[in-house]
Amino acid sequence: MKTKPLILISNDDGITSKGIRTLVELMSELGEVVVVAPDKPQSGMGHAITVNESLRLYKTDVFEDLGVEAYECSGTPADCVKLAKHHVLKDRKPDLVVSGINHGSNISVNVLYSGTMSAAIEAAIEGLPAIGFSLCDYAHNADFSHIRGYVKRIASEALRNGIPKYVALNVNFPAIMQGEIKGIKICRQARARWQENFDERKDPHGRLYYWLVGDFINEDPGQDTDVWALDNGYISIVPCRFDMTCYESFPAISQWEL
């Protein structure tokens, strides 16, 4: 008999989030699942890793009802994937690494800040096929029911066909019901940014503190981007890689008198 595929799951919303439970339920239908996820929310951590303090890793029964082996980690999402590959799984190589399902979108430049996508990209750095899943709904009790079939289908296709080496798929779902989703688009990342500011406030003791606020500005009119796809009722899939070299700039910079 063919061995069931081994699927590693992590996230950035924490091991008790609704999104990761949905993902564990779905991936358990496709293979053997092992979870290594943060013990608390780690949103916005990007690709941070823990180097100046110890990491804690504890086995947990949070998915015992699903028969899934799980560990909670004191570190970042990238830490979780590193610990999973080199310690928890040891000589076992995952057939697929999935991260999420994130509560909130990870489109455009947000991929740089996202702990969800950093877990997936860390796996890609290790040469493992990886997918980050996100729903455009930040509520802690977000409804994932309408995307369950799509998540399972995309993961199944990744297991069947493979993902190019060193590539992680960034999958975002619009927060609309299944009947309103128009389909799936393979997209590029939109050229967008955050127009940010720091809101100055005072705590109950009169001491100043600052809260990051801002607006998401899409400067890309293209109809082949992740932002366009989600705005128009499609699921977006952006293949991402960790090589950030801008090859097009080589000719211009080569003209410098260095």
The closest of 28, 9, 8, 30 to 20, measured between CA atoms, is 9
Q: Which single residue is written with the structure tokens 């999420």?
A: 100
**Is 243 labelled a binding residue?**
no
Question: What's the length of the chain?
Answer: 258
Pairing state between β 234-241 and 183-186: parallel
**Is 43 labelled a binding residue?**
yes
The closest of 175, 24, 190 to 98, measured between CA atoms, is 24
Cβ atoms within 10 A of the Cβ of 169, count? 23
Q: Which single residue is written with the structure tokens 């430049």?
A: 109
DSSP letter string over 47-91? T----SS---EEEE-TTGGGT-EEEEESS-HHHHHHHIIIIISTT
**Is 13 labelled a binding residue?**
yes
CB 12 within 8 A of CB 73: no
**Is 39 labelled a binding residue?**
no
- Binding-site residues for a divalent metal cation sit at 12-13, 43, 102
- Binding-site residues sit at 12-13, 43, 102
